[in-house]
Structure 1
Amino acid sequence: MNRHLSWFGITSLTLGLAFMYLPILVLVIYSFNDSEMITLWSHPSLRWYEKLFTDGNYWGPAWTTLRISLVSSVLATILGVMISLVVTRMRKFKGRSLFVGMTIAPLVLPEVITGLALLLLFIAMGVERGFMTVIIAHTTFAMCFVSVIVTARMAEFDMSTEEAARDLGCGPVMAFFHATLPAILPAIVAAFLLAFALSLDNLVVTTFTTGPGITTLPMRVFSEIRTGVKPEINALSTMVILLVTCVAITSSLLTKRSAAKRVAAADSPPATSQLASA
């Protein structure tokens, strides 16, 4: 079997990467443009970054978005892990197929339907829309993504490891934290980052479930571009790209370091054999 890429494969890969990343590269370049016209290059400048830092119209929504993303992603990760544990360990309970279908349904439903359904639910329950309703909506939307990622990892997990921990005296909770959690931690971290990213740029669901006085950064940017794209938005987008890139790289490095430590610990001889050889 020929494993080398053909010219068609290389061309398709190049066009695909260019389609995804070329607009982002153009945005980053034009964020350093001194001109007030976003499509007309003048000369390099940090003018719009300085204006962004002195303009307080974006920092309030940015702080609100960051708080919502952190809280909702933590809750979505916890609930998603619980769902994956139920799906992978309780394989024969009544209604399992319906339960699995309900956890996957938000993945295929349009965000407009999800946002409208949550809005009608909050109105029917008499819940005042605000900070907490947005967190509930983002958690509901993101936990299905977490459950799918963690379930895929749990399906490959060897349960004999946890059973061995139980035989050595650990209870169910301690066996999970000492045996299962380290093995599925990379999947949990990846799921958390995905939930955080989904919450960070969510606009549709947030628009349906937010209330007076609660404005997120995507809502603020969307309201700004309806009257024309401002150069400050290019600078703001570049900072968000830089933040997400740093978080992703840091998480990848920490995950690889943790995996390397586990491999080294598994390859090292046990202490009893070292004493015997001595």
Structure 2
Amino acid sequence: MTGTVTNQQEDITPDMLKSKDKPRVSWQVLFTLLMFFYMYLPILVLGVYSFNESAYGAGWEGFTWKWYLKLFGDSRVLTALQNSLTVAFCAVAIAAVIGTLMAVGLARYRFPLQSLYRGVAYLPLIIPDIAIAVATLVFLAVIGIPLSLWTIVAAHVVFCLAYVALVVSSRISALDPHLEEAALDLGATPVQAFIQVLLPELMPAIISGCLLSFVLSMDDFLIASFTAGTGATTLPMEIFSRIRTGVKPDINALSVMLMIVSGVVAFVAELLRYRSEQKRFK
């Protein structure tokens, strides 16, 4: 027995020990790093050139903060930002209420053609934006509603509603349906059971869906450009109107700020979803 162990130890050479100590980088890691570099290199270049002193040339002429400071004095950008925030907040608020009720209704009640209704409710997730934009424009023209900032809100509610309902429905499907039954057995009304029992459990998913919808609404250009009235210019529309004559550093700075805000909002939404999942499995 001792001789066998001794022979196995003798078979382990110093070269084998060195090879074990060397870290090995697999091709999957290299491929992942390459893909991340490919995706985020344009964003990195955009961020660097937002601090470029040069207003027109692609060459680097020095570091400056003036393009970021210039944005806060640009009345057109501030007006477009105000319009985008108004559209996003209004659309998300409406979609949060209707989307939550729709998700609860589809999960808790049974009615004819329920599967068909569920599929139709989630269609805005897969329909191209150009189709939604054209359909909304034709509908508004048929019923005779003039285009304005509020027609953008109505159009954004369509896809925001689907995103909120999808996130909430994924959460409600994992909840115990007997919680509401227990509340009803203890004397609560259906409204009280919904507000005091079901709604607190759904709140992380509702907030996560609202944050996701808010980012999508702020970034939307195609639907807003089709449904906007005179003077109802959102921030993506303002950016597009300026880059047609060339990309300038102030637009670079604005794009960097939008990406940072969108990233923070998306991170918060994902954090809320993750904490909700962790709480569910505890």
TM-score (normalised: structure 2)? 0.83
Report if the CA contact (8 A) 2:87-2:217 is conserved: yes
Residue 105 (structure 1) aligned to one of 123, 128, 148: 123
Provide the rounded CA distance (Å) in 2 between the counterparts of 1:249 and 1:29. 23
Structure 1 12/181 Cα, relative in aligned 2: closer, same or farther at 3 Å?
farther
Asked if the contact 2:204–2:272 (Cα under 8 Å) also holds between the matched residues in 1, the reply is: no
Q: 1:257 to 1:110 in 2, by over 3 A?
A: closer
CA drift at 1:37: 3.3
Partner of 1:149: 167
Question: How big is the shift at 1:241?
Answer: 2.4
Q: State the partner residue of 1:82.
A: 101
Mark the structure with the bigger radius of gyration. 2
Given that 1:61 and 1:220 are in contact with CA atoms closer than 8 Å, whether structure 2 keeps it comes out as yes
Residue 69 (structure 2) aligns with: 50
- Worse overlay, 174-183 or 198-207: 174-183
Name the CA shift for 1:15/1:173 in 2 (closer, same or farther; >3 Å): farther
1:177 alignment partner in structure 2: 195
Structure-2 separation of matches of 1:16 and 1:174: 50
| Pairwise CA distance, 1:63 | 0.5
> 1:227-252 CA distances to partner (integer Å, 9 max, x unpaired)?
11111011111222233344445566
For the residue of structure 1 that corresponds to 2:229, the secondary structure is coil
Closer, same or farther: CA 59–123 of 1 in aligned 2, 3 Å? same
User: Displacement, 1:39?
Assistant: 2.8
Q: 1:8, 1:257 → 2: CA distance?
A: 32
Q: Could you tell me which residue of structure 1 aligns to residue 205 of structure 2?
A: 187
Deviations 1:10-47 (A, max 9, x none): 12322332233332222222211111236322221112
1:77, 1:195 within 8 Å by CA — same for their partners in 2? Answer: no
Distance 1:133 1:214 in 2: 10
Is the CA contact 1:30–1:38 (under 8 Å) kept in the aligned structure 2? no
How far apart are residue 193 of structure 1 and its match? 0.8
Name 2:41's counterpart in structure 1. Answer: 22
Calculate the aligned-residue CA RMSD, in Å: 2.5
Question: Do residues 62 (structure 1) and 59 (structure 2) align?
Answer: no
| 8 Å contact kept, 1:150–1:191 | yes
- Give unmatched runs, 5+ long, in structure 1: 268-278
Structure 2 residue aligned with 1:275 = none
AA of the residue aligned to 1:125:
I
TM-score (norm 1): 0.85
Q: CA, structure 1 residues 204+188, in 2 after alignment: closer, same or farther (shift >3 Å)? A: same
Assess if the C-alpha contact under 8 Å between 2:212 and 2:265 holds in 1: no
- Which among 220, 226, 230 is matched to residue 244 of structure 2? 226
Note the C-alpha offset of 1:205. Answer: 0.7
Q: Please give the alpha-carbon distance, in whole angstroms, between the structure 2 residues aligned to 1:18 and 1:88.
A: 42
Contact residue 180 and residue 197 of structure 2 kept, 8 A: yes
1:198 paired with 2:216, answer: yes
C-alpha deviations, 1:50-101, integer Å up to 9, x for none?
222222221101111011001101111212111211211123x112122112
Q: How far apart in 1 are the matches of 2:213 and 2:190?
A: 27
Contact 1:70 1:196 (C-alpha < 8 Å) held by counterparts: yes
Percent identical among aligned pairs is: 37
Contact 1:38 1:230 in 2 (8 A): no
- Cα shift readout 1:172-206 (whole Å, capped 9, x = no counterpart): 12212222122222211111011101110111111
In the TM superposition, what are the counterparts of 1:255-270 in structure 2 within 5 Å? none
Name the SS for the 2:72 alignment partner.
Answer: helix
